[in-house]
């Protein structure tokens, strides 16, 4: 693909492309090779102020647009995304680093969400129910809430904005979107396509810039009653505290420390494939990545040997090249953090079985590449088995039986995804019931959620809300209960019987 050559981009506020009020900018570069991708406005509270005012104004009309019409806009958006799928995937391989098949999957996830939420325009079902009184009609309807602040990460730069913005829009809310500063071009493309699909002025606004300035201003703003954030646990806590004074509705999708359990009766070939895909896909930079493997002692040695052999076969390189299995990680800070966990693991007494180093040679030194890393002899309490690393590192823990496997899987502060490989239906059902996670896979890795099921986790992974699926509608609407009394007289509930 033709690299963009540091083209300058703008915010989109109230239907116009505009610079930041301050005139300041920041640059987006490729984690693969340092190439310049684009220059973006470094916005501040003043820009957020304008965007929120526009979104607030636009809400008064958008909420009245019939929901099936709002849905049609999403169908047009789905169509445009499909047309642009390859270009967006190429751009993603350059700006974010993931390999092309995964980049295409990221865009596909947004296409799926656009069709799914487009269809919700003709549903958004409420309930009708009998009244306890004569000649009275009861129903509940979903109502939009207002301006939604959308704060997204860089690891799914097209999919995650779609999870948040598309349900928000079909429900009748307007949006101010702050994409991650590592992937602003993809955020910008997303909005460009929404504009092309016909979104009217103020309904969707994008404000580029950092969390400290733009994110904070959004969370503090009194006219933004809803915030949806995917990010770190620390940011989630901050956002919750900041939004608390205004009783904001806050949806949080935070970290994970997901485990794959491999029991003694597992199909080992399948388990190895599932682990490699879940631990090293997207260079381990998924909230759902398998950063722990919990292996039954009867298969531990064999499994570890197979994992090491497969990890060593993986080819690091540019995401846009066919032979690449593992692309770069997002930036220098991520590379440093990932490597620091290798040091921590060694200091804790785990055995570094493969990887554990920054990769260079063949131009890799121009980007941020880390070798797929497997630790063995890991104790469940070690930091490498407890803390989110967000890189291509997985920790293998040995257990004696299914009870201990489930206990170890649950023995972390997070609860996003989980997985078990077993041929035994009884053990599978126990895992479905007892794994404390928002997602459980049977005989599949920890990644690969589909858009029409709720996505999110328990414990420190979130705050009880879910995105995607029907659950998304619950977050982006409020219920109104309506009572229509057509008796022509005063009827008192609970009193007139």
Burial of 388 (0-12, 13-18, 19+ CB in 10 A): buried
CB of 441: closest distance to ligand UN1 in angstroms? 10
Query: Can residue 156 be called a binding residue for ligand UN1 (CB under 6 A)?
Result: yes
CB of 153: closest distance to ligand UN1 in angstroms? 7
Binding mask 279-308 for ligand UN1 (x = CB under 6 A): -------xxx--------------------
Q: Which of 120, 213, 253, 310 is catalytic?
A: 253
Q: How many CB atoms lie within 10 A of CB 238?
A: 17
Helix ranges (H only) for 419-490 are 425-434, 471-476
Query: Can residue 448 be called a binding residue for ligand UN1 (CB under 6 A)?
Result: yes
Query: Can residue 371 be called a binding residue for ligand UN1 (CB under 6 A)?
Result: no
CB of 191: closest distance to ligand UN1 in angstroms? 20
CB of 10: closest distance to ligand UN1 in angstroms? 27
Give one word for 39, left, alpha or beta, with left for phi > 0 and alpha for psi -120 to 50.
beta
Binding mask 211-250 for ligand UN1 (x = CB under 6 A): -------------------x--------------------
Closer residue to ligand UN1, CB minimum distance, 52 or 254: 254
In angstroms, what CA-CA distances link 4 with 29, 37, 41, 123? 10, 5, 16, 41
CB of 67: closest distance to ligand UN1 in angstroms? 26
Which is nearest to 93 in space by CA: 336, 378, 350, 283?
283
For ligand UN1, the binding residues in 100-139 under the rule CB under 6 A are: 109
Q: What number of residues does the chain have?
A: 497
Which of these segments, 174-182, 304-312, 372-380, 443-451, binds ligand UN1 (CB under 6 A)?
443-451
Task: Give the separation between CA 1 and CA 217, rounded to whole angstroms.
Answer: 36
CB of 278: closest distance to ligand UN1 in angstroms? 8
**Annotated catalytic residue 253:** yes
Closer residue to ligand UN1, CB minimum distance, 108 or 140: 108
Sign of CA dihedral 368, 374, 380, 381: negative
Yes or no: say if 51 and 205 are a contact pair by the CB < 8 Å rule: yes
Task: Give the separation between CA 69 and CA 74, rounded to whole angstroms.
Answer: 9
Which of these segments, 292-300, 362-370, 445-453, 481-489, binds ligand UN1 (CB under 6 A)?
445-453
Tokens of 336: 């440093």
Q: Which of 399, 447, 472, 473 binds ligand UN1 (CB under 6 A)?
A: 447
Angle between helices 159-170 and 100-120 (to 10 degrees): 10
Query: Can residue 276 be called a binding residue for ligand UN1 (CB under 6 A)?
Result: no
Closer residue to ligand UN1, CB minimum distance, 15 or 448: 448
CB of 109: closest distance to ligand UN1 in angstroms? 6
Q: Which of 449, 456, 461, 473 binds ligand UN1 (CB under 6 A)?
A: 449
Which of these segments, 62-70, 77-85, 375-383, 447-455, binds ligand UN1 (CB under 6 A)?
447-455
In angstroms, what CA-CA distances link 372 with 126, 323, 446? 48, 16, 17
Query: Can residue 155 be called a binding residue for ligand UN1 (CB under 6 A)?
Result: yes
Query: Can residue 418 be called a binding residue for ligand UN1 (CB under 6 A)?
Result: no
Q: Which of 102, 287, 310, 388 is catalytic?
A: 287
Which of these segments, 371-379, 383-391, 442-450, 473-481, binds ligand UN1 (CB under 6 A)?
442-450
Number of residues that bind ligand UN1 (CB under 6 A): 10
CB of 396: closest distance to ligand UN1 in angstroms? 21
Query: Can residue 260 be called a binding residue for ligand UN1 (CB under 6 A)?
Result: no
**Annotated catalytic residue 287:** yes
Closer residue to ligand UN1, CB minimum distance, 67 or 290: 290
3-state secondary structure of 260: strand
- End-to-end Cα, the chain, rounded Å: 73
Task: Give the separation between CA 100 and CA 91, rounded to whole angstroms.
Answer: 10
Tokens of 53: 């005012």
Yes or no: say if 371 and 354 are a contact pair by the CB < 8 Å rule: yes
CB of 18: closest distance to ligand UN1 in angstroms? 30
Which is nearest to 102 in space by CA: 274, 255, 291, 286?
286
Task: Give the separation between CA 255 and CA 223, rounded to whole angstroms.
Answer: 28
Closer residue to ligand UN1, CB minimum distance, 250 or 439: 439
Closer residue to ligand UN1, CB minimum distance, 461 or 477: 461
**What does the H/E/C string look like for 67-120?**
HHHHHHHHHHHHHHHHHCHHHHHHHHHHHCCCCHHHHHHHHHHHHHHHHHHHHH
> What residues make contact with ligand UN1 under the rule CB under 6 A?
109, 155-156, 230, 286-288, 447-449
Positions marked catalytic: 253, 287
């Amino acid at each position: 693909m033709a690299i963009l050559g540091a083209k300058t981009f703008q915010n989109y506020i109230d239907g116009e492309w505009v610079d930041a009020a301050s005139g300041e900018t920041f640059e987006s570069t490729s984690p693969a090779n340092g190439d310049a991708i684009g220059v973006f406005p470094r916005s501040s509270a003043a820009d957020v102020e304008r965007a929120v005012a526009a979104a607030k104004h636009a809400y008064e009309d958008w909420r009245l647009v019939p929901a099936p019409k709002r849905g049609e806009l999403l169908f047009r958006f789905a169509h445009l995304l499909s047309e642009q799928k390859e270009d967006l995937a190429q751009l993603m391989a350059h700006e974010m680093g993931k390999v092309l098949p995964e980049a295409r999957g990221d865009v596909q996830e947004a296409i799926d969400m656009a069709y799914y939420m487009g269809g919700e325009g003709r549903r958004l079902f409420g309930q009708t129910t009998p009244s306890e009184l004569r000649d009275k009609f009861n129903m509940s309807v979903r109502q939009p809430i207002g301006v939604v602040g959308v704060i997204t990460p860089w690891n799914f730069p097209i999919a995650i904005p779609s999870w948040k913005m598309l349900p928000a829009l079909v429900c009748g809310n307007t949006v101010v979107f702050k994409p991650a500063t590592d992937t602003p071009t993809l955020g910008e493309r997303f909005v460009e396509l929404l504009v092309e699909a016909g979104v009217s002025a103020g309904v969707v606004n994008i404000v580029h810039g950092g969390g400290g300035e733009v994110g904070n201003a959004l969370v503090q703003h009194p006219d933004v009653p809803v915030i949806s954030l995917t990010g770190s646990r620390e940011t989630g806590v901050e956002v919750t505290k900041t939004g608390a004074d205004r009783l904001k509705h806050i949806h949080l999708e935070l970290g994970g420390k997901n485990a794959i359990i491999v029991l003694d009766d597992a199909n080992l070939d399948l388990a190895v494939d599932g682990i490699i895909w879940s631990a090293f896909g997207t260079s381990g930079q998924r909230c759902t990545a398998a950063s722990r493997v919990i292996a039954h002692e009867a298969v531990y040695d064999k499994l570890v040997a197979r994992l090491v052999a497969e990890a060593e076969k993986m080819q690091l390189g540019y995401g846009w090249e066919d032979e690449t299995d593992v692309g770069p990680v997002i930036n220098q800070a991520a590379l440093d953090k990932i490597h620091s966990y290798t040091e921590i693991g060694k200091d804790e007494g785990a055995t570094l079985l493969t990887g554990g180093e920054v990769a260079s040679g063949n131009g890799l030194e121009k980007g941020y590449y880390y070798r797929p890393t497997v630790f063995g002899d890991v104790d469940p309490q070690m930091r490498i088995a407890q803390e989110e690393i967000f890189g291509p590192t997985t920790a293998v823990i040995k257990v004696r039986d299914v009870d201990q496997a489930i206990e170890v899987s649950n023995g972390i502060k997070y609860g996003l995804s989980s997985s078990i490989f077993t041929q035994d239906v009884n053990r599978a059902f126990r895992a479905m019931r007892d794994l404390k996670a928002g997602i459980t896979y049977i005989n599949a890795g920890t990644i690969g959620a589909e858009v029409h099921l709720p996505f999110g986790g328990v414990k420190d992974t979130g705050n009880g809300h879910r995105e995607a699926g029907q659950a998304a509608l619950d977050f982006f609407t409020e219920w109104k209960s309506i009572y229509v009394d057509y008796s022509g007289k005063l009827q008192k509930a609970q009193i007139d019987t």
